[in-house]
Every structure is written in C-alpha cells, then in structure tokens.
Amino acid sequence: MTSPRRARWAPALSLITIALVTSGCATGPAAPQARPFATLAPMDPPPVGEVPRLTRVDDRRLPVESYLLTGEQFRTYDAAQDVLTARCVRGFGLEYARPPGSGAAPETQTTHRYDPVDPADVAANGYHSPDPAAGRKPAGAPTVDPDVRTVLGNGLAPDGRTAPGLATEFHGKALPAGGCIADAQRQLIAKGGTGRDADVAVALNFEGFERSKADPRVLAAFQAWSACMKERGYDYPTPGDALKDARWGATPTATAEEIATATADVDCKARANVVGVWFTVEAAYEDELIRRHQEELTTVKVGNEAMTALARSVLAAGG
C-alpha cells in the first residue's frame, strides 16, 4: 500500500550501487521483480491466534525479517566494502572515498507497511512523506576521476559475474576482474551471502503482503474502516484507495482536505483495528511460506551471518 511519496520499503544503497551511479557505469545488484498477485498459487487462509489491538507496528518484526538483511548488517557490509574498495584503489596509486551522505540503511519492514498510522504525522503531512527531500530530484552525482572510475570497475552482477569489456589493467598493472568494487564484493561474500537480500526472502516478503490484502479477515477490517470513513463523508473501499487518491500527488505539500482525509483514515484504522488484524494475518502467511521454504531460507540466513562476520573482521582490521 504505497503512494509516490510514501515508500513502504526503503531500498538499501550498497557501495556498489553508489559507486556505479557516481561513476556513470552499469547498475549493480538489484532485487527481483515482484510477481503480480494474480499469478500466485491458491493458498488456504492460515489460522491465527488472538489478534491484538494495534495502531502501529514499527516496534514489531515480521517473521520474514529473520531472513532479510537488517539495517545494521547493511551498514556493516557497506562500511567494509568501502574499506576494501579504497584499499584496492590505493594499490593503483589513487584515492577513492564513498560520496558523503550515501549508503543509507533500510528501515524495518514494518515502519511504513500500513501507513498512515501516526496522528501527529498526518496532522502535519497528510499522505505526503514527512521527509521534505522525498519528492525532490536527486542532485547531480559527484564527479569521479576517470582513472578512479577505470579502477573501480562495474562490480558484480546479480548472478555473480562481471560485465564484459572492462579494463583488465591500469598503467601496466593487472586489475581484479570487474575492478576494485567487484574484488571487495567477492571477498565479503566468499563464505556466503550476496551483499543484498536473497531473492527468495524478497519474494516471500512481497507474497505475504499481497496475500494478506486479499484475506477475508483483512477484507472485513477494511470494510469496517470504509464504513467508518463514510460516516465522516469519505468514500473509499480500502485504505489503499485513500492513500493512492490522485489528488494528493497534485500538490507538493498536503492540502487541508488531504490532512482531514488522512486524519480520518488514521482514526478509522484504530477503530477497526486494521493494523492489528493486518499485521497478525500477514505474519501468519509468512510463517506458512517460511515453513514451505525453510531449507532454502536457512541457507540464506547462514550466508547472511557469514558475510556479516567477514565484514566485521574487515572493519576490525581497519583500512
């Protein structure tokens, strides 16, 4: 349930992505495209226990988060990759440092999953992002010296291979395959992990959310929410319809009408316990999906932990 101004899952920016953007090279590893809900195989609604009354869940974790990289793991990986890349570049008589302000860690999976939920937020921002920079065009990427760009290379593709046609030497000295970025990545994933969220965990994260939106218990909560909204003069079948109302994207900041609608939205979510029902049902779907993919997900978790341990050892050794 997203709008152009509120992102449900913030992407993680690894050094590979940042370096390639700043150097004008090809893109680095990316998450797989999510499957449309219509293509998902039928699944019986999983049982749930007692449903708590919740108005927000940013302090809770969904089951899938055990198999996704945490913000701390992303930060550790990025910092270690930065150290290794800079060390490699120095070996060619050059200097490189990650551009300031890059490498932001992702938020938790629940931070904006059922937005909006915060009365103070919507009173000020409506359905707009509270981040004033969220709707701005990104500033031009910093210029990277051509020699440094050559040495950095393109890094590893999602399948672990390097792009063809890259420089293989610099001033007579052989370059690592794919450049210094790829070399840093290979070192960090040597014992497992990939430097990004595993495809199976990303797909499960999406699938649980999509299935929960069509679950009868969540739909009943949506109906109660819709009835509450109608009492206040708003006609939306689901919270997603209110969030995606095209009128909200027509202005750079929230209008009085938008704020009033979002305020009613948050209040009706609380009255209908939308967040409590939705979170509980989605967690139940994830538990079942994890059970079906447990062997693969266990391998993912072991790999993520091995990669993080390697990254910590790099940081402990310093540059």
Percent residues over pLDDT 90 in the chain: 73
Q: Which residue has the higher pLDDT, 11 or 307?
A: 307
Instruction: Please write the tens of the pLDDT for every residue from 248-297.
Output: 999 999 999 999 999 999 999 999 999 999 999 999 999 999 999 999 99
CA distance 30 to 21: 13
Model confidence at 140, pLDDT cuts 50, 70, 90, reads low
213-239, pLDDT tens digit by residue? 999 999 999 999 999 999 999 999 999
The answer to whether 70 and 305 are in contact (CB under 8 A) is no
CA distances from 180 to 94, 164, 185, 245 (A): 12, 15, 9, 46
Q: Is the pLDDT of residue 132 over 60?
A: no
The whole-angstrom separation of Cα 76 and Cα 78 is 6
Of 279, 292, 220, 270, the residue nearest 50 (C-alpha): 279
For the ranges 123-137, 157-171, 240-254, the lowest mean pLDDT is seen at: 123-137
The arithmetic mean of pLDDT across residues 194-218, rounded, is 96
Residue in 53, 86, 127, 72 with CA at minimum distance from that of residue 276: 53
Please tell me which residue, 195 or 158, carries the higher pLDDT value.
Answer: 195
Nearby residues of 141 by Cβ (< 8 Å), 6 or more positions away: 21, 22, 24, 99
Whether the predicted pLDDT of 19 surpasses 90 = no
pLDDT at residue 29, rounded to an integer:
32
Q: For residue 167, what are the contacts with CB-CB under 8 A and spacing of at least 6?
A: 150, 153, 175, 179
pLDDT band, very low/low/confident/very high, at 103 (cuts 50, 70, 90)? low
